[in-house]
Amino acid sequence: MTEAETRSGTQTDSRGTLGTLRNAALLLDLLSDGPAHQQLTELAERSGLSLPTVHRLLRSLTVAGLVEQDPRSARYGLGPELVRLSQRYLARLPVLTALSPYLLPVRDALHTSVHIVLYTRGSVAYVDRADAADIGPYREPHRVEPALRTAPGRILAAHADDPGWDAALALVDSAERALAADERSHWRSATHLTIAAAERGGTEVAVPVPDGYGHPAAALAATVADGAVPQAAAHLIRAAQAASRTLGHG
Protein backbone atom coordinates (compact mmCIF):
# COMPACT_ATOMS: atom_id res chain seq x y z
CA MET A 1 0.00 0.00 0.00
CA THR A 2 1.36 3.44 -0.90
CA GLU A 3 1.65 6.31 1.56
CA ALA A 4 -1.26 7.91 -0.29
CA GLU A 5 -3.48 4.92 0.44
CA THR A 6 -2.37 4.88 4.07
CA ARG A 7 -3.33 8.52 4.49
CA SER A 8 -6.65 8.40 2.66
CA GLY A 9 -7.70 4.84 3.40
CA THR A 10 -8.75 4.43 -0.25
CA GLN A 11 -7.16 3.67 -3.59
CA THR A 12 -6.18 6.90 -5.29
CA ASP A 13 -8.24 7.59 -8.41
CA SER A 14 -6.66 10.16 -10.72
CA ARG A 15 -9.54 10.18 -13.21
CA GLY A 16 -12.26 12.82 -13.23
CA THR A 17 -12.85 15.96 -11.23
CA LEU A 18 -13.26 14.17 -7.90
CA GLY A 19 -10.02 12.28 -8.42
CA THR A 20 -8.20 15.50 -9.34
CA LEU A 21 -9.40 17.26 -6.20
CA ARG A 22 -8.53 14.27 -4.05
CA ASN A 23 -5.04 14.09 -5.52
CA ALA A 24 -4.48 17.82 -5.07
CA ALA A 25 -5.55 17.54 -1.43
CA LEU A 26 -3.20 14.58 -1.01
CA LEU A 27 -0.24 16.58 -2.31
CA LEU A 28 -1.04 19.43 0.07
CA ASP A 29 -1.16 16.92 2.91
CA LEU A 30 2.20 15.43 1.90
CA LEU A 31 3.75 18.90 1.66
CA SER A 32 2.58 19.62 5.21
CA ASP A 33 4.54 16.63 6.51
CA GLY A 34 8.32 16.64 6.32
CA PRO A 35 10.78 19.25 5.03
CA ALA A 36 9.48 22.70 4.17
CA HIS A 37 10.29 22.10 0.48
CA GLN A 38 10.24 18.73 -1.28
CA GLN A 39 11.34 17.35 -4.62
CA LEU A 40 8.88 16.55 -7.38
CA THR A 41 10.12 12.97 -7.61
CA GLU A 42 9.73 12.46 -3.85
CA LEU A 43 6.15 13.67 -3.97
CA ALA A 44 5.37 11.36 -6.88
CA GLU A 45 6.83 8.39 -5.03
CA ARG A 46 5.05 9.16 -1.77
CA SER A 47 1.71 9.86 -3.41
CA GLY A 48 1.73 6.92 -5.80
CA LEU A 49 0.85 9.29 -8.65
CA SER A 50 2.69 9.56 -11.94
CA LEU A 51 5.35 12.24 -12.33
CA PRO A 52 3.39 14.14 -15.04
CA THR A 53 0.24 14.13 -12.88
CA VAL A 54 2.10 15.47 -9.85
CA HIS A 55 3.81 18.14 -11.95
CA ARG A 56 0.51 19.25 -13.48
CA LEU A 57 -1.24 19.46 -10.11
CA LEU A 58 1.63 21.32 -8.48
CA ARG A 59 1.65 23.88 -11.29
CA SER A 60 -2.08 24.50 -10.80
CA LEU A 61 -1.70 24.74 -7.03
CA THR A 62 1.21 27.16 -7.48
CA VAL A 63 -0.87 29.43 -9.69
CA ALA A 64 -3.55 29.43 -6.96
CA GLY A 65 -0.97 30.33 -4.29
CA LEU A 66 -1.62 27.12 -2.36
CA VAL A 67 1.87 25.84 -3.23
CA GLU A 68 5.13 27.69 -3.83
CA GLN A 69 8.26 26.65 -5.70
CA ASP A 70 11.65 27.62 -4.33
CA PRO A 71 13.44 29.34 -7.26
CA ARG A 72 16.83 28.12 -6.07
CA SER A 73 16.14 24.43 -5.49
CA ALA A 74 12.97 24.04 -7.65
CA ARG A 75 11.44 22.17 -4.73
CA TYR A 76 7.84 22.65 -3.67
CA GLY A 77 6.31 23.75 -0.38
CA LEU A 78 3.02 25.00 1.01
CA GLY A 79 2.01 28.41 -0.32
CA PRO A 80 1.07 31.67 1.43
CA GLU A 81 -2.55 31.59 0.25
CA LEU A 82 -3.15 28.85 2.83
CA VAL A 83 -2.51 31.42 5.58
CA ARG A 84 -5.28 33.69 4.33
CA LEU A 85 -7.70 30.81 3.92
CA SER A 86 -6.94 29.35 7.34
CA GLN A 87 -7.36 32.73 9.03
CA ARG A 88 -10.67 33.30 7.23
CA TYR A 89 -11.82 29.86 8.33
CA LEU A 90 -10.87 30.39 11.97
CA ALA A 91 -12.42 33.86 12.05
CA ARG A 92 -15.77 32.35 11.11
CA LEU A 93 -15.78 29.53 13.67
CA PRO A 94 -18.47 30.24 16.29
CA VAL A 95 -16.64 28.24 18.96
CA LEU A 96 -13.60 30.55 18.83
CA THR A 97 -15.82 33.60 19.23
CA ALA A 98 -17.70 31.94 22.07
CA LEU A 99 -14.52 31.01 23.95
CA SER A 100 -12.68 34.27 23.41
CA PRO A 101 -14.08 36.16 26.45
CA TYR A 102 -13.01 33.37 28.81
CA LEU A 103 -9.39 32.78 27.81
CA LEU A 104 -7.87 35.67 29.75
CA PRO A 105 -9.87 35.11 32.99
CA VAL A 106 -8.92 31.40 33.00
CA ARG A 107 -5.29 32.23 32.24
CA ASP A 108 -5.19 34.74 35.10
CA ALA A 109 -6.83 32.30 37.50
CA LEU A 110 -4.46 29.45 36.66
CA HIS A 111 -1.31 31.51 35.89
CA THR A 112 -0.63 29.39 32.83
CA SER A 113 -1.33 29.51 29.10
CA VAL A 114 -4.77 28.38 27.96
CA HIS A 115 -5.35 26.84 24.52
CA ILE A 116 -8.28 26.27 22.19
CA VAL A 117 -7.84 22.99 20.34
CA LEU A 118 -9.60 21.72 17.19
CA TYR A 119 -9.75 18.19 15.79
CA THR A 120 -9.21 17.31 12.14
CA ARG A 121 -8.39 14.03 10.40
CA GLY A 122 -6.83 12.30 13.38
CA SER A 123 -4.78 15.30 14.54
CA VAL A 124 -5.38 18.25 16.82
CA ALA A 125 -4.41 21.85 16.11
CA TYR A 126 -3.80 24.32 18.93
CA VAL A 127 -5.34 27.26 17.08
CA ASP A 128 -5.69 30.01 19.69
CA ARG A 129 -4.37 30.76 23.15
CA ALA A 130 -3.90 33.23 25.94
CA ASP A 131 -0.25 33.15 27.00
CA ALA A 132 0.79 33.22 30.63
CA ALA A 133 2.56 36.34 31.87
CA ASP A 134 5.74 34.39 32.69
CA ILE A 135 6.00 32.59 29.36
CA GLY A 136 9.42 34.13 28.79
CA PRO A 137 10.94 35.64 25.65
CA TYR A 138 9.80 32.85 23.31
CA ARG A 139 6.17 32.10 22.51
CA GLU A 140 5.23 28.52 21.82
CA PRO A 141 4.40 28.12 18.11
CA HIS A 142 1.08 26.79 16.92
CA ARG A 143 1.10 23.02 17.26
CA VAL A 144 -0.38 20.13 15.33
CA GLU A 145 -0.12 16.77 17.10
CA PRO A 146 -1.49 13.24 16.69
CA ALA A 147 -4.73 13.48 18.62
CA LEU A 148 -4.26 10.43 20.82
CA ARG A 149 -1.01 11.80 22.25
CA THR A 150 -2.72 14.82 23.82
CA ALA A 151 -5.45 15.27 26.41
CA PRO A 152 -7.71 17.42 24.21
CA GLY A 153 -7.12 15.12 21.27
CA ARG A 154 -8.25 12.07 23.22
CA ILE A 155 -11.48 13.81 24.15
CA LEU A 156 -12.20 15.03 20.64
CA ALA A 157 -11.21 11.79 18.89
CA ALA A 158 -13.32 9.73 21.29
CA HIS A 159 -16.37 11.81 20.32
CA ALA A 160 -15.64 11.62 16.59
CA ASP A 161 -17.52 9.30 14.25
CA ASP A 162 -15.91 5.98 13.36
CA PRO A 163 -13.95 7.29 10.34
CA GLY A 164 -12.68 10.17 12.49
CA TRP A 165 -11.69 7.76 15.23
CA ASP A 166 -9.94 5.47 12.75
CA ALA A 167 -7.97 8.47 11.42
CA ALA A 168 -6.64 9.08 14.93
CA LEU A 169 -5.70 5.42 15.37
CA ALA A 170 -3.77 5.48 12.09
CA LEU A 171 -1.35 8.10 13.42
CA VAL A 172 -0.10 6.15 16.47
CA ASP A 173 1.62 2.83 17.10
CA SER A 174 0.03 -0.49 18.03
CA ALA A 175 0.44 -0.03 21.80
CA GLU A 176 -1.24 3.37 21.65
CA ARG A 177 -4.03 1.94 19.50
CA ALA A 178 -4.66 -0.81 22.04
CA LEU A 179 -4.81 1.73 24.88
CA ALA A 180 -7.18 3.93 22.89
CA ALA A 181 -9.51 1.00 22.14
CA ASP A 182 -9.73 0.19 25.85
CA GLU A 183 -10.20 3.81 26.93
CA ARG A 184 -12.45 5.31 24.26
CA SER A 185 -15.64 4.90 26.28
CA HIS A 186 -14.03 6.53 29.32
CA TRP A 187 -12.54 9.36 27.26
CA ARG A 188 -15.95 10.04 25.70
CA SER A 189 -17.77 10.28 29.03
CA ALA A 190 -15.10 12.11 31.05
CA THR A 191 -15.69 15.71 32.15
CA HIS A 192 -11.95 16.28 31.76
CA LEU A 193 -8.84 14.32 30.81
CA THR A 194 -5.21 14.63 31.78
CA ILE A 195 -1.93 13.49 30.28
CA ALA A 196 1.67 14.02 31.37
CA ALA A 197 3.23 16.89 29.44
CA ALA A 198 6.83 15.73 29.60
CA GLU A 199 8.29 18.28 27.19
CA ARG A 200 6.57 21.23 28.87
CA GLY A 201 6.51 19.84 32.41
CA GLY A 202 3.43 19.26 34.52
CA THR A 203 0.12 17.83 33.38
CA GLU A 204 -2.06 18.84 30.44
CA VAL A 205 -5.72 19.17 31.43
CA ALA A 206 -8.44 19.34 28.79
CA VAL A 207 -12.22 19.65 28.70
CA PRO A 208 -14.70 19.40 25.82
CA VAL A 209 -16.59 22.47 24.60
CA PRO A 210 -20.00 21.23 23.37
CA ASP A 211 -21.79 22.99 20.55
CA GLY A 212 -25.51 23.71 20.54
CA TYR A 213 -26.24 20.03 19.89
CA GLY A 214 -24.06 18.67 22.67
CA HIS A 215 -21.21 17.53 20.43
CA PRO A 216 -17.69 18.84 21.21
CA ALA A 217 -16.83 21.63 18.78
CA ALA A 218 -13.41 22.13 20.37
CA ALA A 219 -11.48 21.49 23.55
CA LEU A 220 -10.01 23.87 26.09
CA ALA A 221 -6.63 22.91 27.55
CA ALA A 222 -3.96 24.10 29.96
CA THR A 223 -0.74 22.61 31.35
CA VAL A 224 -0.39 22.94 35.12
CA ALA A 225 1.54 21.47 38.03
CA ASP A 226 0.25 18.08 39.14
CA GLY A 227 -1.25 19.47 42.33
CA ALA A 228 -3.22 22.11 40.43
CA VAL A 229 -5.17 19.69 38.23
CA PRO A 230 -8.48 19.84 40.16
CA GLN A 231 -8.45 23.65 40.19
CA ALA A 232 -7.55 23.81 36.50
CA ALA A 233 -10.28 21.34 35.56
CA ALA A 234 -12.88 23.35 37.47
CA HIS A 235 -11.95 26.64 35.75
CA LEU A 236 -11.79 25.04 32.31
CA ILE A 237 -15.16 23.32 32.78
CA ARG A 238 -16.85 26.56 33.82
CA ALA A 239 -15.43 28.38 30.80
CA ALA A 240 -16.45 25.55 28.47
CA GLN A 241 -19.98 25.50 29.89
CA ALA A 242 -20.33 29.27 29.49
CA ALA A 243 -19.11 29.12 25.89
CA SER A 244 -21.43 26.20 25.20
CA ARG A 245 -24.43 28.23 26.36
CA THR A 246 -23.41 30.96 23.93
CA LEU A 247 -23.19 28.40 21.12
CA GLY A 248 -26.59 27.02 22.06
CA HIS A 249 -28.15 30.46 21.62
CA GLY A 250 -26.45 31.06 18.26
- pLDDT of residue 11 exceeding 50, the answer is no
As a whole number, the mean pLDDT across the chain is 90
Q: What is the mean pLDDT of residues 121-150?
A: 83
Do residues 171 and 146 touch, judged by C-beta distance below 8 A? yes
- The CB density around residue 218, as the number of other CB atoms within 10 Å, is 29
Segment 61-79, tens digit of pLDDT: 999 999 999 999 999 999 9
Do residues 31 and 78 touch, judged by C-beta distance below 8 A? yes
Do residues 240 and 207 touch, judged by C-beta distance below 8 A? yes
Q: What is the mean pLDDT of residues 12-41?
A: 84
- pLDDT of residue 14 exceeding 50, the answer is no
Q: How confident is the model at residue 132 (pLDDT cuts 50, 70, 90)?
A: confident
Q: What is the mean pLDDT of residues 139-168?
A: 92
Q: How confident is the model at residue 4 (pLDDT cuts 50, 70, 90)?
A: low
What is the Rg, in whole angstroms, of the alpha carbon atoms belonging to the chain? 20
**With pLDDT > 90 as the criterion, what percentage of the chain qualifies?**
80
Q: What is the mean pLDDT of residues 184-189?
A: 97
Do residues 235 and 110 touch, judged by C-beta distance below 8 A? yes
Q: What is the mean pLDDT of residues 154-182?
A: 97
pLDDT of residue 15: 54
pLDDT of residue 199: 67
pLDDT of residue 197: 85
Tell me which of 131-145, 160-174, 207-221, 225-239 is least confident.
Answer: 131-145
pLDDT of residue 9: 46
pLDDT of residue 250: 57
Q: In degrees rounded to 5, what are phi and psi of residue 31? A: -65, -25
Predicted TM-score (pTM) of the model is 0.84
pLDDT of residue 134: 63
